[in-house]
Chains A and B, each alone.
Chain A
Amino acid sequence: MAREYGQAGPAAHPGFEKRGSLWLRTSLTLQSCLTTFRRVVGMPDYSAYLEHLSQRHPDWPVPSEQEFFQVYVETRYGGGVSRCC
């Protein structure tokens, strides 16, 4: 099922189970830090969205990263209060 966003799951990173090289572990940590950061500032994760599409709506068109970003900005600031005093 839909995995929790903000974590790098094994599916996205083949070889994760091996926990082999230091390089791999560092890059995974870095990647999950990046995703966490993006989610804190309120930006959805592009690769997670692609995964969501492939699981739920395999027949839908896949947006480019730029299109994805565009739609996100519109929904985020298209109305409603996102920031407080």
Chain B
Amino acid sequence: MLGWVMIAVAGAAGWAMLALSRGETISAAWLVLAAVSTYLIGYRFYSRFLATRVFALDPRRATPAERLNNGRDYMPTGRWVLFGHHFAAIAGAGPLVGPVLAAQFGYLPGTIWIIVGVVLAGAVQDFVILFASMRRDGKSLGQMAKEEIGPFTGILAMIAVLLIMLILLAPLALIVVNALRSSPWGAFTLACTIPIAVLMGFWMKVWRPGRTMEASVGGVLLLMAALVGGRYVAENPTLAPLFTFSGTTLAYALIVYGFFASVLPCWMLLLPRDYLSTFMKIGAILLLALGILIVLPPLRMPALTRFTDGTGPVFAGGVFPFAFITIACGAISGFHALVASGTTPKLLKTEADARLIGYGGMLMESFVAVMAMCAASVLDPGVYFAINTPLATLGGDAAHAAETIRQWGFTVTPEQMAALARSVGEESLLSRVGGAPSLAVGMAQIFSGAFGPSLIALWYHFAIMFEALFILTTLDAGTRVGRFMLQELLGHVWEPLGRTSWYPSIILTSALIVTGWGYFLVQGVLDPLGGINSLWPLFGIANQLLAGVALSVGTTIIIKSGKARYAWVTILPLAWVLLVTLTAGWLKITSPDPRLGFLAHAQDTAAKVASGAIDPTRGARLIFNDRLDATLAGLFMTAVVLVVLSSVREWALVLRGRKPAVTRETVFTETAYGA
């Protein structure tokens, strides 16, 4: 008990330092301390309350893995192994990029949301869905919505998932494009991952079946060789131009790549890439944690910046509600509900493990977000804004940029930016929006502080490569999943289109899906404000609204299992998520500020076309995109409001006794493990 008091005191000290220091720089140690103590207390007390009182996890109850054990997708798995597996499945580029963008408000708002949000909302969501799916033989979120709330809600939830998938892939791809634009080193390294993955695929499938480890170790070694080789390519006058690409070229290359990744058999590209990225993910995150702990760098970003009022250059909108939209993954992520009702529930050895894996796994992801916030905040604020501000806002060249940033109250000189770009082996770092380059500079500074300054360029490209690798894996997997969903839908229209192994259908549906996200990607690249500005909030809103669906399903299950008095554990986060996302969605559609509102931006563009400031064809395209974005945001919001309303109706029926409080849980079977 004394130990817990000490942890609470340490956490309070961390929070006090974060909240009370104004004007002076503080060490990242305080941030890490506040985070880790809050996680420990949340895990020990709150998740225990959830596990025993609310869900009544029963170690004597056999899990699907035990009852349906088939030695493949259903099988009892050791808890730490499964923890690693689940963590690798939920953590991607999201928790790294969101905090970096939200750092424009200063480190404090984002940090509070990441830490408090995960304990009370994000980890609860993952835990409740994992629990619910575990009690239902590993059913998916959509199936549970259908069975527990109603068929209409189920279909609505599935359509929402498909739409969100499309809108999710575009900003992620855009991050890769922005990170690799006119960077021969980065482009060469990432291009190499494709032949490396194919080689690994042949190794595991054809030459040495099942030798995953050999292939992965070989793959990582080749990847490191490509990383080192990238420098040679970038410095070689004949090779460098071959790997120097414009944003548009990169965008089309990614679209073509996504198409092939979806059409080719998965063992050839998707599976080996998945392994490579799991390996890199766990390695790089451990390395970053180690680096931060060794260096304990000072946070140069202020706790709060003047941009909390909504005038920020990185993305438009005030700290409420936009800090909570921008940091989607890391605090709460609706997407996790799909993983927590996918592979993981089929692998749990005992019910009690759901606490560590569901709740604990999400705490770990939140810690990744905290580290990303540290990496963004160790940069000089002037450097941070020089990298993350769109070119149109920053002004033409380095001198203009320095002047713009000086007017915001931060200092950066053209020489400083040029020296920084040279030191990391890039031509320029001005306006490299999307979050990845600034995160990579921050990580490179931390790594070179911890492991020696000579390799800073290598560390920078290592960070870029590992982010791009994650994102491409999500792109591959997302396109393929989208294709399956579309095939299922189209199968209702004409049966052959539903056959997942019929090539004409595979090619058609893959092309449709890549065109879907590819359209947004290309528009994002052409957008004078950098695209991230409009696409990232749309993604955040979509992801948080999916969390709304997950929490509605969770609440319904809690109420129907006779635990209505504890239903606040999911109702409170649900209310918050709805408040934040619906406000943000409403502002994005209707705000009169053309920087913020889609429709106001369309009007503004129309006025500029009329006055001749914008070319009419380009203007028409911009206006169409604004209206499309507004329609999408409206669609997401409507779908989720309908899901929530139908859930509330169901709760009312059960609570008034008009409907029996029965869930579709599978019946109790005693475990054979002798708990």
Contact = CB atoms under 8 A, between A and B. Distances in A.
Answer whether A and B are interacting partners. yes
Interface of A: 1-2, 4-7, 34, 36-44, 46, 48-49, 52-53, 56, 64-66, 68-73, 75-85
A6 B81 contact: yes
Contacts of A73: 205, 265-267, 271
B210 A66 contact: yes
A42 B672 CA distance: 25
A4 B82 CA distance: 11
Contacts of B254: none
B533 interface: no
A85 B480 CA distance: 14
Given A69-B209, A76-B266, 17 more contacts: A2-B69, A6-B81, A41-B274, A48-B75, A65-B210, A66-B209, A69-B210, A69-B267, A79-B481, A79-B500, A80-B343, A80-B481, A82-B274, A83-B89, A84-B89, A84-B335, A85-B543
A40 B83 CA distance: 8
Contact of A44 (B75, B91, B209): B75
Interface of B: 66, 69-73, 75-78, 81-82, 84-85, 88-94, 140, 168, 172, 204-205, 209-210, 212-213, 216, 265-267, 270-271, 274-275, 278-279, 282, 328-329, 333, 335-336, 338-339, 342-343, 349, 473-474, 477-478, 480-481, 484, 500, 543, 672-673
A36 B140 CA distance: 26
B488 to A, nearest CB: 8
A2 B266 contact: no
Given A73-B271, A84-B336, A85-B474, A79 B484 contact: yes
Contacts of A71: 72
A1 B543 CA distance: 42
5 contacts: A43-B210, A81-B477, A83-B92, A84-B338, A85-B328
A44 B65 CA distance: 13
Tell me if A's interface is mostly helix, strand, loop or mixed. Answer: helix
Nearest to A50: B71
Contact of A42 (B85, B265, B333, B543): B85
B612 to A, nearest CB: 41
Given A44-B72, A46-B210, A84-B333, A4 B205 contact: no
A76 B89 CA distance: 12
A44 to B, nearest CB: 5
B168 to A, nearest CB: 6
B93 A85 contact: yes
Contacts of A66: 205, 209-210
Contact of A84 (B209, B339, B484): B339
B172 A85 contact: yes
Given A42-B85, A85-B329, A65 B274 contact: no
Contact of B72 (A72, A79, A82): A72
Nearest to B484: A79
Contacts of B76: 2, 4-5
A41 B265 CA distance: 19
Contact of B338 (A6, A38, A75, A81): A81
A65 B209 contact: yes
A11 to B, nearest CB: 15
Given A71-B72, A78-B500, A39 B77 contact: yes
Contact of A4 (B72, B78, B328, B477): B78
Contact of B69 (A52, A75, A85): A52
Nearest to A7: B78
A6 B500 CA distance: 33
A48 B71 contact: yes
Given A66-B210, A83-B274, A40 B81 contact: yes
Given A42-B343, A69-B209, A83-B477, A5 B94 contact: no
Contacts of B92: 83-85
A40 B85 contact: yes
Nearest to A68: B210
A49 B71 contact: yes
A78 B267 CA distance: 12
Contacts of A72: 72
A48 B75 CA distance: 10
A40 B84 contact: yes
A58 to B, nearest CB: 13
A82 B474 CA distance: 9
B88 A82 contact: no
Contacts of A65: 209-210
A77 B473 CA distance: 13
Contacts of B328: 85
B75 A41 contact: no
Nearest to A80: B342
Contacts of A40: 81, 84-85, 88, 278, 282
Nearest to B138: A80
A38 B71 contact: no
Q: Which 7 residue pairs spanning A and B have beta carbons closest together? A: A52-B71, A85-B94, A81-B338, A6-B78, A66-B209, A40-B84, A49-B71
A1 B267 CA distance: 33
B72 A49 contact: yes
